[in-house]
Structures are given as structure tokens and as C-alpha cells.
């Protein structure tokens, strides 16, 4: 009871690390790298696949990832994460860059067994994607410090072994397109996050694993361990 009180207090005051932005909605894009779509035998989409994660799934650098008792197959998905700078609706693609506040690296943890069942039944992915600690994020870096958003390496190491490697140039739908697309449906708000999809190399995590995600040449890093 006491713990729950503090947890809810904390959730209301989440700031995106490295910024003064209060965390709002967490949007995620599925299958935004064709090599990843292929490794899971999925079709490459012709418009973005969108899902949301709850704020309670957010955690931070140094935190512990909990494998939920409901899953035997939790996968890591390393992703570029964009923080939105201001409110907007129906944002044209050519204006979208003005809505990017900062970027970080995050991991979209996914209970693949639960997701697979949901896919087969045509059910939503909210449970597979939404467990506590399933959305760790790094500290964010101002977009002004980034030379080229469309040429950033994403790396993920498990126990110091390289497991995922990709580059934002491989996205099917680029960041500006995603902002424009999302804002045609949702009223975007200052402090929203967009997880922009994962490159190939996803795999199962195990208790005791040490996971490190790196954006560019150490622009942002995120280290978590699995319990």
C-alpha cells in the first residue's frame, strides 16, 4: 500500500531523463526495419504499425528488467526514441523536424510468446508490450547536437556480445513521416515519446543477462540487467 502510493507519485512526476519534459504518451512503431520484419516472418507494412505502452513500463539506465511470470520468451528490441517538443495535430512532414526535442535509445521489451498468441487471435499487443520495466530509456540528447538523424547506428549487446546492429537509414518510415502520420490521428503533446522500431537481431533474454544499448558513437547509452 505504502509502496503503491510512492509508485503512483513517481509516475505523475516522470521527467524524460536529460530533459525537463514531463513524460506523456508512449507511441511505438512495429516492423519499421524490413530485415526485422523478415526475421519474424512478417510482411513489410505499407503504412506504420502503431501501438502504445503504459507509463508504468518505463524504467531507466541502471534499472533491473523483470521477466513476468506470464512469459517464457521475452525479447529485446533496441530502438531510437524521439521526444516530442510541442503540441501538434496534422503536422506536415516538412514541418515535423521542428517537433523533435531530443533523442535517446530505448529497448522495447516484448513477450514474444504472448504477442504470437495475440497475433494468431487478432488481439491487441498491449499485454505483450506493456509489462512493468518493458520500456527502459536512456538520457536524451538535444536534437541540435545531432548531425544527421537518418544516419545513426543502433547497437545492442547482451553480456558484451553484439546481438543487434542497425542504422536509422534503414527505417521503412523515417522520423518525420512517423511524426506526421501519428499527428494525423493523435494530438501529439510535448513530452510524448516515439519508439521508432527495431533492426534485426532480436533474441530471448535470460535472468542474469546484462544488456547494453548504444546510440551512435556513445551519444546515448543504456545499461540494464535482467532479474
At closest approach, how far in Å is the CB of 90 from Zn ion? 25
- The β-bridge relationship of strands 64-65 and 220-226 is parallel
Environment class of 92 (CB within 10 Å of its CB; exposed 0-12, middle 13-18, buried 19+): exposed
The yes or no reply on residue 85 touching Zn ion (CB under 5 A) is no
Closer residue to Zn ion, CB minimum distance, 40 or 146 = 40
| C-alpha cell at position 102 | 531530443
Closer residue to Zn ion, CB minimum distance, 67 or 88 = 67
Closer residue to Zn ion, CB minimum distance, 25 or 198 = 198
User: Where on the phi/psi map is residue 197: left (φ > 0), alpha (ψ -120 to 50), or beta?
Assistant: left
Provide the greatest CA pair distance for the chain. 49
In the chain, count of helices (H) and strands (E)?
5, 15
Q: Cell 531523463 identifies what position?
A: 17
| C-alpha cell at position 28 | 511505438
At closest approach, how far in Å is the CB of 4 from Zn ion? 29
- Considering only 78, 140, 198, 222, the residue that binds Zn ion (CB under 5 A) is 198
CA distance 48 to 221: 26
The stretch among 42-50, 52-60, 108-116, 130-138 that binds Zn ion (CB under 5 A) is 108-116
Closer residue to Zn ion, CB minimum distance, 96 or 154 = 154
Angstrom CA distances, 227 to 37, 41, 74, 115, 175, stand at 28, 29, 12, 21, 33
The stretch among 2-10, 71-79, 120-128, 145-153 that binds Zn ion (CB under 5 A) is 71-79
- Considering only 31, 48, 58, 77, the residue that binds Zn ion (CB under 5 A) is 77
At closest approach, how far in Å is the CB of 79 from Zn ion? 6
At closest approach, how far in Å is the CB of 2 from Zn ion? 34
Closer residue to Zn ion, CB minimum distance, 19 or 198 = 198
- For Zn ion, the binding residues (CB under 5 A) are 77, 108, 198
Amino acid at each position: 500500500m505504502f509502496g503503491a502510493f510512492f509508485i503512483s507519485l513517481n509516475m505523475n512526476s516522470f521527467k524524460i531523463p536529460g530533459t525537463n519534459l514531463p513524460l506523456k504518451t508512449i507511441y511505438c512503431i512495429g516492423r519499421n526495419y524490413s530485415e526485422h520484419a523478415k526475421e519474424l516472418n512478417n510482411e513489410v507494412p505499407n503504412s506504420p504499425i502503431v501501438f502504445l505502452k503504459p507509463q508504468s513500463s518505463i524504467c531507466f539506465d541502471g534499472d533491473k528488467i523483470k521477466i513476468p511470470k506470464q512469459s517464457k520468451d521475452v525479447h529485446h528490441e533496441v530502438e531510437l526514441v524521439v521526444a516530442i517538443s510541442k503540441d501538434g495535430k496534422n503536422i506536415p512532414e516538412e514541418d515535423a523536424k521542428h517537433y523533435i526535442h531530443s533523442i535517446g535509445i530505448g529497448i522495447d521489451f516484448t513477450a514474444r510468446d504472448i504477442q504470437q498468441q495475440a497475433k494468431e487471435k487478432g488481439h491487441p499487443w498491449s499485454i505483450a508490450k506493456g509489462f512493468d520495466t518493458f520500456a527502459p530509456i536512456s538520457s536524451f540528447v538535444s536534437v541540435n547536437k545531432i548531425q544527421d538523424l537518418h544516419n545513426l547506428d543502433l547497437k545492442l549487446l547482451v553480456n558484451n556480445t553484439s546481438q543487434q546492429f542497425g542504422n536509422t537509414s534503414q527505417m521503412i518510415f523515417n522520423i518525420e513521416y512517423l511524426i506526421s502520420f501519428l499527428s494525423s490521428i493523435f494530438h501529439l503533446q510535448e513530452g510524448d515519446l516515439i519508439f521508432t522500431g527495431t533492426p534485426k537481431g532480436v533474441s530471448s533474454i535470460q535472468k542474469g543477462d546484462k544488456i547494453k544499448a548504444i546510440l551512435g558513437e556513445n551519444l546515448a547509452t543504456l545499461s540494464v540487467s535482467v532479474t
